[in-house]
């Protein structure tokens, strides 16, 4: 998408607005497939939580992707998008046995990550195939808010609890058909990931009827120019070789599964916002825009960096701005960021806005959530309408206090 395309989209659909480039999504999907092309049976399950718009799910499914879901609602969205139940895996955390049973009735592969639920489920449903999520106690990258493989993580069954896990499986006679791990986001060191993979391989040797090994994802994407990223090609070469050796030792070919979210959609997304006001103080020039952390919380929540470009004046002289939102809280997107000169009314484009951006948006300050647009085949397609005041009132019930008092 060119700057002009983005300006046209902001003009047609208003701001703020999320825009996703279908070509970039396809490029990333095919890049991952190519990196593991020597694996006989590779399955890619898109992590729905990253961006759950149903048009995105349908598009990824058309490319050949299954879905990685974490809630019964994400399962239902995937089914609504036309994804077959067999191509959906459900990996919740901290949910009730009742929700897991609800998903089982939908025909989806389940993945259990704690011993209590594993024992309860195995006792009631020993014949239902179950994947087990282990915690390898290895962090492959990222900060503490996006790492889930550490010893105090709430995710997964500790690898050190394997004897108890095996006792539960034996006592219930349950059917374990997959082993899963996920170390966290922003994997920087492939060797660390490969070490975690060895733990998964060792765990898998305890189960005789496995169909797949799920290595999660967490691949790092670049957030700024010349930024480092996960070397998918190197990982593909090294993990493929090791996976083949394991399958030979195991005695049959297994399916290799990945669950990328950010890797597939982060770079495809742009978030467009209009500049409401330029405010000069004694030390700072603020660019106040028509959005806030109600629409893009990642910089405030994770400390994440998003490149910001002035698409209205890309060749302008660079100046330093602090880009802030219109929420009645501190919502700073960037401090003293070097951006082409900004004028009120300009459109700013935030990069890496495809993953965990709209999906984490809210109505804080009673602001409407923005529209979403998919740029596909050279044309912008509206895939979610901007909310209205009626949407804020929907599902609210107004009490007639005078009538209640009379009663």
Catalytic residue list: 328
| The CA-based dihedral angle spanning residues 244, 33, 35, 267, taken in that order and rounded to the nearest 10 degrees | -140
Bridge partners (DSSP) of residue 379 are 376
Query: How far, in whole angstroms, is CA 203 from its chain's centroid?
Result: 26
SS (H, E, C) the chain: CCHHHHHHHHHHHCCCEEEEEHHHHHHHHHHHHHHCCCCCCEEEEEEHHHCCCHHHHHHHHHHCCEEEECCHHHHHHHHHCCCCHHHEEECCCCCCHHHHHHHHHCCCEEEECCHHHHHHHHHHCCCCEEEEEEECCCCCECCCCCECCCCCCCCCEEHHHHHHHHHHHHHHCCEEEEEEECCECCECCHHHHHHHHHHHHHHHCCCCCCCEEECCCCECCCCCCCCCCCCHHHHHHHHHHHHHHHHHHHCCCCEEEECCCHHHHCCCEEEEEEEEEEEECCCCEEEEECCCCCCCCHHHHCCCCCCEEECCCCCCCEEEEEEECCCCCCCEEEEEEEEECCCCCCEEEECCCCCCCHHHCCCHHHCCCCEEEEEECCEEEEEECCCCHHHHHCCCCCCCHHHHHHC
Residue pair 1/270 in contact (Cβ under 8 Å)? The answer is yes
Q: What's the CA gap between 170 and 51, in Å, rounded?
A: 38
Those residues whose C-beta lies under 8 Å from the C-beta of residue 337, and which sit 6 or more positions away, are 308, 320, 321, 322, 323
Bridge partners (DSSP) of residue 371 are 17
């Amino acid at each position: 998408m060119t700057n002009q395309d983005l300006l046209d989209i902001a003009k047609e659909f208003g701001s703020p607005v999320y825009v996703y480039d279908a070509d970039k999504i396809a490029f990333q999907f095919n890049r991952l497939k190519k990196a593991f092309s020597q694996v006989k049976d590779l399955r890619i399950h898109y992590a729905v939580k990253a961006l759950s718009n149903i048009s995105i799910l349908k598009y990824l499914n058309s490319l050949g992707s299954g879905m990685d879901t974490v809630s019964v609602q994400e399962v239902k969205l995937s089914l609504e998008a036309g994804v077959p139940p067999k191509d959906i895996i459900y990996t919740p955390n901290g949910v009730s046995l009742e929700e897991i049973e609800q998903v089982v009735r939908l025909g989806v592969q389940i993945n259990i990550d704690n011993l209590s639920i594993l024992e309860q489920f195995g006792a009631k449903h020993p014949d239902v195939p179950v994947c087990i999520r282990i915690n390898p106690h290895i962090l492959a990258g990222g900060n503490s808010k996006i790492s889930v493989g550490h010893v105090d993580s709430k995710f997964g069954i500790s690898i050190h609890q394997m004897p108890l896990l095996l006792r539960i499986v034996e006592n219930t006679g349950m059917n374990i058909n997959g082993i899963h791990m996920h170390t966290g986001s922003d994997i920087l060191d492939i060797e660390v990931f490969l070490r975690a993979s060895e733990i998964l391989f060792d765990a898998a040797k305890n189960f005789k009827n496995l169909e797949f090994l799920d290595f999660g994802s967490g691949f790092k994407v670049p957030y700024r120019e010349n930024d480092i990223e996960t070397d998918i090609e190197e990982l593909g070469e090294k993990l493929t070789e090791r996976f083949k050796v394991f399958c030979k030792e195991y005695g049959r070919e297994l399916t290799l599964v990945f669950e990328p979210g950010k890797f597939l959609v982060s770079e495809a997304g742009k978030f467009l916002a209009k500049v409401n006001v330029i405010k000069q103080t004694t030390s700072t020039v603020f660019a106040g825009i028509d959005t806030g952390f109600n629409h893009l919380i990642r910089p405030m929540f994770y400390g994440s960096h998003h490149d910001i470009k002035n698409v209205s004046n890309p060749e302008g002289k660079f100046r330093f701005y602090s880009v802030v939102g219109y929420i009645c809280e501190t919502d700073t997107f960037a401090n003293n960021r070097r951006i082409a000169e900004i004028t009120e009314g300009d459109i700013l484009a935030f990069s890496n806005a495809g993953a965990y951006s709209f999906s984490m948006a809210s109505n804080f300050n009673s602001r409407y959530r923005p529209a979403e647009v998919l740029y596909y085949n050279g044309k912008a397609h509206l895939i979610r309408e901007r909310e209205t005041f009626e949407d804020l009132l929907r599902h609210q019930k107004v009490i007639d206090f005078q009538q209640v008092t009379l009663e």
